Amino acid sequence: MSFGLSRGKELITEGYGIELYDLPGYDVDDPESSRIDPRKWFQDYERHFEIEIGSGKGTFLVQQAGLQRDVNYLGIEKAGEFYRYAADRMRRRELENVRILRADATEFIRFRCPPELAQVIHLYFSDPWPKKRHHKRRVIQDESLRQFHRVLTSGGELRLVTDHDDLWAWYEDHAARHGDLFERRVFVAPDSAEDGELVGTNYERKFTHEGRPFHAMVLKKT
């Protein structure tokens, strides 16, 4: 399915987009040697490092990376068209502190990332998968929460925003069940959010026009 994002223009990912299949393969016999440190994809790789899961058109990433030049941002987006659109946007803005990986974020984090690498994981307006038989496709699961806890640095944060009441209830249940891993905190908007916004992603702007209420929380690694 095409969303027609390019409007006939060539989308260039070079220098900003990373395809999973270009990375060294996963060795089932030696999972530890298959770890990849995405911080090394940045010139100044010792900086504070943040991951956004499901970046869509990359609006949050380009806004926030433009403001916080001393933080490296990695978006992980599984849909090829959105990945290409976001990478091209980063390239046109010549941002050196943002990259995007085309991959399933939960699998990449679980199987490929070393521990304690990110200060923040952002997850905004994640697909709600409303049908019960599809709940297993939601990004937040018991296992993904354990993995996010593993890759966050001490005191690191998982930041969640959704417009979807049932997904919000799911987040609240998971947060309550994993009180040993995370402490729930109030969500504070990042610098890139405009007045009245929680984050200022594409979906947030679209849903604001529809008058939908939003929910937000921060889960801080204990």
Ligand X SMILES: C[S@@+](CC[C@H](N)C(=O)[O-])C[C@H]1O[C@@H](n2cnc3c(N)ncnc32)[C@H](O)[C@@H]1O
Interacting residues with ligand X (CB under 6 A):
53-56, 76-79, 82, 104-106, 124-127, 139, 201-204
Angstrom distance (rounded) from CA 33 to CA 138: 28
Nearer to ligand X, 54 or 156 (CB): 54
Least distance CB 101 / ligand X (angstroms): 9
Set 27, 127, 166, 173: catalytic member: 127
Q: Least distance from C-beta 146 to ligand X, angstroms?
A: 16
Q: Which helix (H) or strand (E) holds 173?
A: helix 165-177
Nearest residue to ligand X, scored by beta-carbon proximity: 54
Alpha-carbon distance of 100 to 74, in angstroms, equals: 5
User: Closest separation between CB of residue 75 and ligand X, Å?
Assistant: 9
- HSE at residue 198, side-chain half, CA atoms within 13 A, is 24
Burial category of 175 from C-beta neighbours within 10 Å (exposed 0-12, middle 13-18, buried 19 and up): buried
Is 44 part of the annotated catalytic residue set? Answer: no
Angle 105-108-113 (CA atoms, 0-180°, nearest 5)? 120
**Of 82 and 148, which CB lies nearer to ligand X in the complex structure?**
82
**CB closer to ligand X out of 108 and 182:** 108
Return the active site residues. Answer: 127
